[in-house]
Structure 1
């Protein structure tokens, strides 16, 4: 009987000593301050600026064609002027469709890179948490998954430093 009580006391003491190690990460800060995301945004900002310049240039050339047509249309027969006008409108529609397709492609590429980055960050946090012995790491964000957490339980800066160091070493 004494052995059973001793085993129960030892088991209870062991169980009570095992505490869950819980922390949280500010997802928004982690993603927004991750250097790879900053680099991706810079890359796409450059691509978007280049696209915008090209679109503006194409628009200016087309506008010049429209002005030339307007000047010339007064001297043409109505049927010829209508034919040239229709051709000009067809060209405008085609250019608009091409620019829209390029813009969508750029947007899709950007979204794919961001989605891949988010998966990478989640995987990194999972591995980091296992390595540091956390039982749970919660994500804090604007949606309110963690409404309150002691500052001492916030490991965002530690994870951010580790993931940025990992990115620099790539």
Structure 2
């Protein structure tokens, strides 16, 4: 009977020690990812930025054309404005005002369209990153992966807690 109690006590003590060892030895870290760097170096984010930049350039050409039209109308008004009667000046002023309003409307529409396209394009990239971070965190045994952004959400982090480079390497290798 005493042998069974002693054996039971030793087994319970061993189980307790193994549990403590498991807690101490377990990698239960909190790490972070620098999103600015991630979006600059993750190949899919770079592709989306390039695509959006090319799209914006298309619209810039149209905006430049509209601005040149306004400048041309202003020059015409300056040259012939003194020679025109009141109705002629009013007509040219109205034309200039309409062109300026057209430019403002066009810029507003373009800005809205590009922002909507940006949100759509990046939602896929963000979903990919978030899914990967979840899987990566589980695989590495992290307690938490924080997101650091340019506005300074992490004031201090111990060396070795920035896993951005590893994330970028793994994401870029998945094609």
- Pairwise TM-score range, normalised by the shorter structure: 0.7 to 0.9
1:131-142 equivalence runs, <5 A: 132-139=139-146, 141=148, 142=152
Residue 12 of structure 2: which of 8, 33, 48 is its match? Answer: 8
Q: Within the alignment, does 1:144 sit opposite 2:144 as a pair?
A: no
TM-score normalized by the length of structure 2: 0.77
SS in structure 1 of the partner of residue 146 of structure 2:
strand
Corresponding residue for 2:82? 74
Deviation, structure 1 residue 26: 2.7
Deviation, structure 1 residue 150: 4.2
TM-score normalized by the length of structure 1: 0.78
Task: Name the CA distance, whole Å, in 1 between partners of 2:91 and 2:81.
Answer: 10
8 Å Cα contact 1:23-1:155 kept in structure 2: no
Residue 95 of structure 1: which of 97, 103, 106 is its match? Answer: 103
8 Å Cα contact 1:35-1:164 kept in structure 2: yes
SS in structure 2 of the partner of residue 9 of structure 1:
helix
The verdict on how the C-alpha distance between 1:150 and 1:82 changes in structure 2, with shifts beyond 3 A counting, is: closer
Deviation, structure 1 residue 23: 5.4
| Alignment gaps of 5+ in structure 1 | none
| Alignment gaps of 5+ in structure 2 | none
The structure with higher relative contact order (CA 8 Å, sep 6+) is: 1
RMSD: 2.5
Task: Name the CA distance, whole Å, in 1 between partners of 2:111 and 2:158.
Answer: 42
